[in-house]
Amino acid sequence: MAIARLITKAENEDPEATIALRQLYPKTGRAFLVGITGPPGSGKSTLTDKLVKELRKRNKTVGVIAVDPSSPFTGGAILGDRIRMSDLALDEGVFIRSMGTRGSLGGLSQASHAAIKILDAAGFDYILIETVGVGQSEIDIVKTADTTVVVTVPGLGDDIQAIKAGIMEIGDIFVVNKADRDGADRVVIELSQMLELNQNMGEWFPPILKTVASRNEGIIQLVEKIDAHKDFLNSSGELIIRRKERISNEIFNLILKRVSVEIMRKLAEDNWENELAEILEKRKNPYDVIDRVIKELLQ
Amino acid sequence: MVESKIRVLVAKPGLDGHDRGAKVIARAFRDAGFEVIYTGLRQTPEQIVAAAIQEDVDVVAISLLSGAHNTLMPKIVNLLKEKGAGDKLVIGGGVIPDDDIPGLKAAGIAEVFTPGTPTSVPIEFIKANVKK
C-alpha cells in the first residue's frame, strides 16, 4: 500500500516523494534490475509473467514495472500488461506497477527511476522493467538496467533492421520468442551475424535464446542466462561501472530538469514575449539572446 | 508538482467472456486523458482488489454482464475496505436491472451505468467525484 502510494507521488512529482526518496536511498542497490524490451506484439508481457513465476519458484521476490505509451494527444493511456500477469496478482512476493510514458521530457525516466528505487528499498530481489523498445525514452530506461533482455519474434521482416539501428548495442541477452513459428532459426542466425559484427564487444558475448513464452519453453534457460550475466557483472566489476553511469545520468537529467524549469520561469519574467517579437522582426538575433540568458543564469 | 492523472482500473470479474463493453469504455477513458489499467477477463474480486491497490488507482470500474453483480460488486467494495483502500471510487456498468441499482448503491457502488449510456456520462462522473 505504502509502496503504491509513494510511486504515485513520484509520478506526480509530489515533493513528499523526494523527501521519501532521500531517506530510502541508502537502502537501495540490493535489487538486480532486468530490462525487457522489444517491439509491440513480441510477447514481452507473457515472457515477463513466466520469468516472474520461475524466479518465484527459486524463492526470489520480484517487482515489475510495465511501461506502455501514453497518447501524445490526450495524455491518456491503456496499460494492458497486467492481462498476461493476472495469476500473479495475489502473490505477496510480487508487486506489479503499470506506468504510462506521459510523454514529457524525461518525465518517464524520472518516475520510473523513482519507482525502481522504491521497489528496491522495499526489498525485492529482482526488478523487471518492461518497455516497448521504440523511442528514446524507453531505450533510456532499459539502458539503465543491470541486464537488458531484447525480445524479438520471427516474421517481422524489417524488424531486425530496427533492432540493428536502435537496441542491438544494449542487449545483454537476446530472445527469439514465439520460436515455434517458421523462421525462428533464421532470426537467430541473423542476430548472431549482427552481434559478430559488433566491435568492442568486451568479455560478455550476448547469448541468443529461443523461447515459446506462452508454453513456458526456454524460460529456465533465460533465468539461468540472466543469473550468468549477473555473475559476470559482479566478477568483472562491470556492475559498478554500469551503476555509476546510471546514477550519473540520472543526476544529470534531474539537474537539467530543475534548471530548465528555472530558465522558463526567468524567461517568463524577462519580458520574453516582447523579446521574441523583436527576434521575429530581425531586430535581435537568437544567438545574442542565448548568450545573454546563459550569462545571466551563471552569475 | 505536475497535474496528477486520474488512474482507473477497468475490471471484469466473474465468468462472462464479453469484454467488448470494457474495451470500449477503456478506450473512452483513455481518450478522456485517464490512465486505464485493464486486467482482462475472468478476474476474481481478490485479484481485482490486489491490482487496484498495487496500481494505486483512483477508480475501480467494474464491467459485468453475467448477472452476478449483486454478489461480485459489493464483494469488491468490501475487500477494498478491508485492505484499507475504501477511498477508491467504485463504479459499475453492464446489463443491470433497474431494481438492483438501489441495493448496489447502498452497498457502496457510487454509480451504475446501464447499456445505452453515452461514454461521456461515466467520464464526467469520474471527473466530478475523484478526490484529488
Is A88 among the domain residues?
Answer: yes
CATH number at residue A178: 3.40.50.300
With beta carbons under 8 A apart, name residues in chain B contacting A14.
Answer: 1
pLDDT tens sequence for chain B (132 residues): 667 899 999 999 988 778 888 999 999 999 999 999 998 888 999 999 999 999 999 999 999 988 889 999 999 999 999 999 999 999 999 999 999 999 999 999 999 999 999 999 999 999 999 976
Q: Dihedral through CA A155, CA A158, CA A164, CA A167, nearest 10?
A: -60
Of B1, B4, B27, the CB nearest to A78: B27
Looking at the DSSP bridge assignments, the partners of residue B43 are B13
Nearest chain A residue to B48 by CA distance is A89
Closest CA to A148 of A74, A200, A207: A207
With beta carbons under 8 A apart, name residues in chain B contacting A1.
Answer: 53, 83-85
pLDDT in tens, A208-254: 999 999 999 999 999 999 999 999 999 999 999 989 988 888 898 88
Cβ of A90 within 8 Å of Cβ of B50? The answer is yes
ipTM of the complex: 0.88
Nearest chain B residue to A78 by CA distance is B36
Mutate to test the interface with A, among B24, B39, B58, B120 (most CBs of A within 10 A): B39
Decide if pLDDT at A169 tops 80: no
Is A34 among the domain residues?
Answer: yes
Q: Read off the C-alpha cell for B59.
A: 477508480
Can you tell me the distance from the alpha carbon of B6 to that of A151, in angstroms, rounded to the nearest whole number? Answer: 31
Question: What is the tally of structural domains in chain A?
Answer: 2
Which structural domains are found in chain B, ordered by start? Answer: 7-129 (3.40.50.280)
Number of alpha carbons in the 13 Å side-chain half-sphere of residue A68: 21
With beta carbons under 8 A apart, name residues in chain B contacting A11.
Answer: 4-5
Chain B: give the shortest CA distance to residue A188, in Å.
32
Cβ of A1 within 8 Å of Cβ of B32? The answer is no
With beta carbons under 8 A apart, name residues in chain A contacting B43.
Answer: 86, 89
* One domain, residues A140 and A16: yes
Closest CA to B2 of A250, A66, A4, A257: A257
Of A7, A75, A77, the CB nearest to B56: A7
* One domain, residues A133 and A214: yes
Question: Which structural domain range is residue A268 located in?
Answer: 252-298
Residue type, position A95, single letter: F
End-to-end CA distance of chain A: 45
* One domain, residues A55 and A141: yes
